């Protein structure tokens, strides 16, 4: 099999964790970046959940596309499944994305399962910030996750006004 693409919209942007030979900005239509997943492991606990990003239906999302050599397919997919499917709140899908140059390719992406108990739904920025503040999990505190994601998006010139609003409420400047 040939090379394949992986779409990153959150922590995969700043910490992909897998070998790739090319990175491009890309847009996924039909899904938006959202703090819509209660985190029971990485950024919170079952007793004190945090929030992490998911791709939820509606709108579009600008992120990064990573081109992976075909010979690494099994290794990279196994890594992504171990990372993204810890509690099975995400569904692995192959979706069409548009690369910055206008070319459309298919990419592996992880979308939120709206039927899963960890699906938080469409929270407003104030409610999302209240959940994020003070939550800590195996990968660290939730505030750092939100701020780091936003900093990396901004460094790439990617705007996410809702996430910016949440971040301002979590860590006022």
Is residue 22 flagged as an active site residue? no
Out of 71, 75, 82, 84, the active site residue is 84
115, two tokens? 């039927």
Contact present, 19 and 69 (Cβ < 8 Å): yes
Q: Among all chains, which residue has been given the structure tokens 């505030």?
A: 143
User: For the segment 148-159, what is each residue's pLDDT rounded down to a tens digit?
Assistant: 999 999 999 999
Residues 6+ apart with CB under 8 A from 159: 153
pTM for this prediction: 0.92
User: For the segment 87-131, what is each residue's pLDDT rounded down to a tens digit?
Assistant: 899 999 999 999 999 999 999 999 999 999 999 999 999 999 999
In order of their start, the domains of the chain are 4-167 (3.10.490.10)
Closest CA to 62 of 126, 154, 170: 154
81, two tokens? 């499944």
């Amino acid at each position: 099999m040939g090379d394949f693409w992986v779409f990153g919209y959150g922590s995969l942007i700043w910490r992909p964790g897998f070998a790739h030979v090319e990175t491009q900005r890309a847009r996924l239509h039909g899904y938006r970046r959202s703090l819509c997943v209660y985190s029971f492991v990485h950024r919170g606990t079952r007793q004190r959940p945090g929030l992490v990003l998911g791709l939820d239906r509606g709108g579009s999302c600008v992120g990064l596309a990573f081109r992976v050599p075909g010979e690494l397919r099994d290794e990279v997919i196994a890594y992504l499944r171990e990372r993204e499917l810890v509690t099975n709140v995400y569904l692995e899908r192959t979706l069409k994305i548009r690369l910055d140059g206008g070319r459309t390719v298919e990419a592996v992406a992880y979308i939120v399962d709206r039927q899963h108990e960890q699906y938080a739904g469409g929270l407003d920025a104030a409610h999302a910030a209240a959940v994020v503040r003070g939550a800590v999990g195996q990968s660290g505190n939730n505030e750092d996750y939100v701020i780091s994601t936003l900093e990396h998006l901004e460094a790439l010139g990617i705007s996410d006004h809702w996430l910016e609003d949440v971040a301002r409420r979590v860590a006022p400047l």
